[in-house]
Amino acid sequence: MSTEYLEADVCVVGSGAGAGPVIYELSKAGHKVLVLEKGPWFTENEFYKDELACCRRSVYTPDLKDERHVIEDYDGKSDTGGYNWKVTSTKESGSDFWNGNCVGGSSNFMSGFFYRLKPEDFRLKSEFGDIKDANVVDWPISYDELEPYYEKAERLVGISGKVKPHKYQEPRSTKDFPYPPTQEHFISQKIDQACDALNYQSLPTPRAILSQPAMKRRSCEYSGFCGSYGCSSGAKGSARAALINHALETGNCTLKANSKVFKIQTDSKGNVSEVHFYDGVNAVKKIRAKIFVVACQAIETSRLLLSSTGSKHPRGIGNNYQQLGKNLLFSAGGSGTGEFFYDQLDKKQAEQMKQRGPFVNRGLQDWYFFENKELGRVKGGTIDFLLRHPNAISRANSVKWDDNGKLLWGQSFKDKLHSTFTSTQDLRFEVFNDWLPTDDCFVSLDNKVKDKWGSAVAKVRVGYHDHDLKIGRYLADKAELVLKQMGAKNIRSSVSGSPPPNLVAGGCRFGDDIKTSVLDKTCRVHDVDNLYITDGSFMPTGGSVPYTWTIYANSFRVADVIKKQL
Amino acid sequence: MNERECINYLQRWDDSVDEEYSKQIIESDSRRRFIKQLLVGTTAMMFADSVVANKNQLTNERWKILSAVHLHMLPVSKNEPDANSINATAYLKSIIEWPGVDDSDKKFILDGVGWLNGLSEKQFNKTFDQLDTNTKEIVLRTVEKSQAGENWLSLIMLYLIEALLTDPVYGGNVNGQGWQWLEHQPGFPTPSSEKRYFNL
């Protein structure tokens, strides 16, 4: 049987936020780049505000029948002092760990609130010391080394915002964001007033969403359906809209959608020789390149490396010291909500409150670091405010159960539905704090469960550290005070150790020592000359903000390293 | 049909449904999962027997009965949409034909009509659609007492809610009446019929 080989200077596996900057930079620099994306290729012309497509059918993610994850969750303490783990596949639980498998990856579906890390995030161990049962380490690079790339991402991805100095403001090489803030909702000024009264400093949230047309992309059109939905104007700074489209224009980039990589082949020296993938009709194809880049999002990147054994890498690439897949990170914290009843507002304010489209764009970082009696001086986190997600079907579906767990139907269901939808605007908040790296959160391969191509699926243990809950609760209590000050009713919040599958990093931490890390400081696999990992996998600790801006920035940084090597 | 026979009948329905699938329906509904955790125990059906279920295979009857279930769940009331005005049954029929919905769901929904109607005939000697409103309520609340029955009703409601609030391009929510009633502002752009999810 003849095998078709494709050749390129650089082969990139994945096309999301971790891949986009490398694809963009190397294509612009004149190198031949070949991109393999497992999912299909949607453009602005295929993104609609359609709740069925977005959120109720498997359109942008695989059918769980075909591809699933196996999750190991806490199931009480064991007799030996450790924990028991309950093993459930996501097909059984319906708790999906896919986040967007298509060109541009999950960056198509983010809501785009973007924060940089702080300088201290790069040296948490030095700043705050060890935490028992957590694997906190300093990064091998400093904030200063990443800053120019944060700036580059700001410019090329297109981040809208306004710098408002505050006590934990990270240093910036430019004065302000390249684009003014996106339009803001009426409720934003109410948050500001409440924060002023509480002596908190409300901050405008930077967004990776264009507030004016630029770089051949349209401005945001303010439909009010942003997170979970693909952007039809091109304003959202997905890797696809902001970077890959421009890379394709150079003529140096070839993108193959529906191409599922299942094996990275290494040679007798341990370097990558080929990548093997199934094309759209499930035929096996092979690629040869000088340099290979993997960015499939943290869980799948670890899975691919674990699956890719070779004579120099008998336990998978980068796993000779059994570090691969370890110290997986999610984002800790929780969320809360408060309700504003329209009938308690005057008519004009009620109408303003109902407005759909503009962003809330407010966050708090007053407690990014804090000190109190119980915890001492610790790393805290970020609070972000947002309106309730506008999806109607999922909201109505939760109305069908009464408080006793019985189904409601008939006129009583209709009445409850109508009152739920028409009485209140709900202001929510989300808390982001560090998901401490521990030995109980990692990726391995499941020996029994296979995907539709017959490859072992990723098994993910999702244990968390109790410290995360204490910090999350501290922050959620602060956020509740803002809602209370605003006059919201039915205020409640929850902080838990449930991992948010869309905020995932780690598994291939970078570091100076091969015995304790998978990647070197340039994000090259320690004992492989030509393999780089550029998604969020490299992060040894997560920071207390969404990861995407840092992933973009780091990928721009690695692109400069690869340019020198080519 | 006495209570014991009724319980036995519903138990046979429970037994005919794959346990994993049944769990999956509960798990996939986070609100319900939450409530389930709060409640201590559920209705225990302990009288399994080995009689093979007598399924109702009448296809046209089936849709008539589903339509009656829909209208009972979303009844006619003044100035509000109802199951007929939003085309709920036609919407469900389309869903059964389109890709994207789990085949197990489709089978479970269609089989369930037979179980519901079987109960109606055994208890009241009438097909479900011929019952008056109060009797329909009795039958549905009886069905709800079994796990399979509750799961079935929950799924029927999910697709009824889809029919109420989906983009009208899918055949439900005729002229956006569900959105108008609930003052829901849809996003834009909305899909044309060529851009429905299964055409993407």
pLDDT, tens digit, 9 for 90 and up, residues A439-474: 999 999 999 999 999 999 999 999 999 999 999 999
3 state SS of A503: coil
CB-count exposure of residue A501 (10 Å: 0-12, 13-18, 19+): buried
Q: Is the per-residue pLDDT at B57 higher than 50?
A: no
- Please give the average per-residue pLDDT across A91-101, as a whole number: 91
Q: How far is B167 from chain A (nearest CA, A)?
A: 7
User: Amino acid identity of B6?
Assistant: C
Q: Where are the alpha helices (DSSP H) in A45-123?
A: 51, 90-93
Report the pLDDT value the prediction gives residue A284, as an integer from 0 to 100.
95
Please list, in sequence order, all residues whose beta carbon lies within 8 angstroms of the beta carbon of residue B132, skipping any fewer than 6 positions away: none
Quickly state the pLDDT bin for B49 (edges 50, 70, 90).
very low
- Omega of the bond leading into B189 within 30 degrees of 0 (cis): yes
Specify the pLDDT at position B102: 85
Q: How confident is the model at residue B96 (pLDDT cuts 50, 70, 90)?
A: confident
Looking up tokens 């990776």, which residue turns up? A208
- Residue range B49-69: mean pLDDT, rounded: 64
Neighbours of A553 (CB within 10 A): 23
Chain A environment of B164 (Cβ under 8 Å)? 396
pLDDT of B36: 52
Q: Which tokens hold the place of A336?
A: 């809360």
Query: What is the mean pLDDT of the segment spanning A282-311?
Result: 97
Q: Which chain B residues are closer than 8 Å to A342 by Cβ? A: none
pLDDT 10s digits, A16-67: 999 999 999 999 999 999 999 999 999 999 999 999 999 999 899 999 999 9
Confidence grade of residue A72 (pLDDT, cut at 50, 70, 90): very high
pLDDT tens for each residue of A104-122 = 999 999 999 999 999 999 9
Chain B residues lying within 8 Å of A422, measured CB to CB: 182-183
**CB distance A49–B181 less than 8 Å?**
no
CA distance A399 to chain B (A): 9
Q: From the candidates B136, B144, B188, which should be mutated to test the interface with A, based on the most A CB atoms within 10 A?
A: B188
Q: How confident is the model at residue B40 (pLDDT cuts 50, 70, 90)?
A: very low
